Amino acid sequence: VDNAMREKDALEFYNLGLGEYYTFASISGSGTGDLLDALIEAFPVKPEPVQEAVVLPRFAVVGRPNAGKSSFINALIGKERFMVTDIAGTTRDAIDTKFDRFGFEFNLVDTAGIRRKAKVKEDLEFYSVMRSVRAIEHADICILVIDATRGFEGQDQSIFWLAEKNRKGVVILVNKWDLVEKDTMSTRDYEEKIKKELMPFTDVPILFVSALTKQRLLKALEATVQVYENKQQRIPTSKFNEFMLKVIEAYPPPATKGKYVKIKYCMQLPTQTPQFVFFANLPQYVKEPYKRYLENKIRENWDFSGVPIDIYIREK
């Protein structure tokens, strides 16, 4: 600032070379208001806050070819969005459909049928199967659709264990139930047969539906939403200890080599899938049968139907 300037004056000039607007103020404070205005104008414009995209839960409809996966989604949304034929392998890609039911919004993902690797001959089918596998890996819940007329076969089991290996919630739908000759015990016998093949993970919802007649489709969807909520469930540490420590006291881990295992504390871990840790003095002596016992007790007291549970024993 030039001391020769009078206090009430302010010198303003425009720099044509840089395209910038400058304001000079006298040392006594005259013109400082204009200076502040110029500074504010020079500040970068603050961008509008970007709203984070809402990530919807993903329910992948999986199964063998021609099990009725596309028909199931078409029947739910009330539109013939996906091509349906009697030819196995009609669906080639994993396609998302946004759906809203019970006040709950989610994505239903139609996938190509998954056959055994030895039976996949064409490159196109190979990549379709790979996309279906990726859909399982990125899903929250897998809706496994099986053909009631063919039964729960080896490939159905393989798809189930693939979902379980990736720690996904699972709901099993026995489709085309309207084509099966039934008696009063058919449903129970069919369900028991499936659970026998799934041991030891038998706490899975199994529903008998028909995409053609729309039998029990909404109930199947309701069960899927419930499995998703089970997967998100968090148990307060105090309540978990209160229940589980009594269970452990009533039936403690068996002694090994004359050494007794003592579990004094337990909690649910803050993970995306239900995982529980139990702190013990000798964790190496807690075997798999006792871990299954703990898991069964957890499932008896809290609803984790359709959701894999991990049990860890750590030293404390």
**Tens-place pLDDT, residues 93-129:** 456 777 776 677 888 888 877 866 555 455 555 667 7
The pLDDT score that the predictor gives to residue 83 is 44
Q: 237's torsion region: left (phi>0), alpha (psi -120 to 50) or beta?
A: alpha
pLDDT at 226 over 60: yes
Three-state secondary structure string covering 179-191: HCCCCCCHHHHHH
Q: Are 224 and 59 in contact (CB under 8 A)?
A: yes
pLDDT confidence tier of residue 275, bands split at 50, 70 and 90? very high
Q: Could you tell me which of 61, 168, 72, 157 has the C-alpha nearest to residue 107?
A: 61
Instruction: Write out pLDDT tens, residues 163-220.
Output: 999 999 999 999 999 998 878 788 999 999 999 999 989 999 999 999 889 899 999 9
Beta-sheet strand order (sheet of 275-280): 263-268, 275-280, 310-315
94, amino acid identity: A
The CATH number fitting domain 237-315, selected from 3.40.710.10, 3.30.300.20, 2.170.190.11, 3.40.50.720: 3.30.300.20
Q: Which CATH superfamily is domain 58-232 in?
A: P-loop containing nucleotide triphosphate hydrolases (3.40.50.300)
Of 250, 306, 299, whose CA–CA distance to 276 is shortest? 299
Residue 291 to residue 289: CA distance in whole angstroms = 5
Q: What is the pLDDT of residue 75?
A: 87
- Counting every residue written for the chain, the total comes to 316
Cα–Cα distance for residue pair 98/108, rounded to 1 Å: 6
Tens-digit pLDDT profile for residues 56-102: 889 999 998 888 888 888 888 776 554 444 444 444 445 677 777 66
pLDDT in tens, 1-25: 444 444 444 444 444 444 444 445 5
> For strand 95-101 and strand 104-110, is the pairing parallel, antiparallel, or unpaired?
antiparallel
- Phi, psi values for residue 244, rounded to 5°: -70, -35
pLDDT of residue 19: 45
Q: What ranges do the domains of the chain cover?
A: 1-47, 58-232, 237-315
Tokens representing 98 are: 């946004």
Domains 58-232 and 237-315 share a fold: no
- Phi and psi dihedrals of 12, rounded to 5? -120, 140
- Which amino acid does the sequence have at 47? P
270 phi/psi in degrees, rounded to 5: -80, 70
